[in-house]
A and B are shown apart, each in its own frame.
Chain A
Amino acid sequence: MHCTMDDLLALRAGEASVWARRHVEDCAVCRAELDGLYQRVAQLKALPALRPPRDRWSVVRDAARVVRVRRRRTWSAWSLAAAAALAGVLLVPRFGSRGTLHAELSQAKEQSATLEDQLQRYDVDGRVLSGRTAARVAELEDRIAAIDGDLAGRSGVKAQAQDAELVKLWQQRVDLMRQLVNARAIRTRYVGL
């Protein structure tokens, strides 16, 4: 009876039974098999490294930008929420007469919140297939983050002109959010979710 492959692998790992250790000392056939096993493993280790046929760095880099922007946006969103709450307290009682502007502002904020909810449905962190799409998403998120920063800095506006600018900024934000939702929705359909 010769060693089985299990025995030979156990011998290689230094975990063989007493019988296998003694047998391989006496049996030239099994010694040759063990040598063959060592050689196969050595040859496997010596196989040449296979290199990726295409450069994927651009896709990974774009995704890294998205991650960075998202982290920044998360921070900005908290700031914005606080700023919006403060603006609500300061503005609404004082400028109740500017009903149209306030209605537009409320509408834009509601639309923005709805679009944020839609975005939550598209988890894209690990599914970036197209570098171009990832770059587009990153660009949109950058622009939204810039608007968020601007909005956060206007929490204490008082003049009507500034109020109108606030509405305009929120509407721009809604427009960018729509584009972002569309970009993500298209990508999600593309990967078949």
Chain B
Amino acid sequence: MKADLRFEFLADKDRRILTVIREFAAKRQLVWDCHTRSELLDRWFAPKPLTTKTKHMDFRAGGYWHYAMITPEGQQFWSRLDYLTINPIDGYTALDGFSDEAGGINPDLPRSNLNATFADKSAHTLVTTIVQYGSSDDLQKAIDMGLKDGLTSTLERLDELLPVLLAK
């Protein structure tokens, strides 16, 4: 990230809201295209070292983006973003959810509402994304899912290790 580009990440656990504000060194139309055209989304959406693969994209209210984020080992994490409202090139709202490869939404996994707005900032563009989980149960599920990675098991081992360390 370039140091002079604004980045803010706000987490409000009580209201179950994540707010991500980011400035981009490009005109609003281009930033909008990168968020709404699958051939462009495929080139940036997954964090490194993962890659993005689109299976279906229909960018209109009622349509959806069905895509996978793929690890270097080939493991695929499928998601589906259902578009609710679209106002080119000002913003869109959508419902985010985990899916399978066929595109079916897993109703047991948490879904979140996404509200993205795009604004001019001189020659740059400011994108504000608000992610809200429907219930604290949904947020807790998302947190629990995030805990399946290596660090959590290390932390759980740490919980076992603590009494041993403290006994010394």
B is a partner of A: no
What residues make up the interface of A, taking CB atoms closer than 8 Å to B?
none
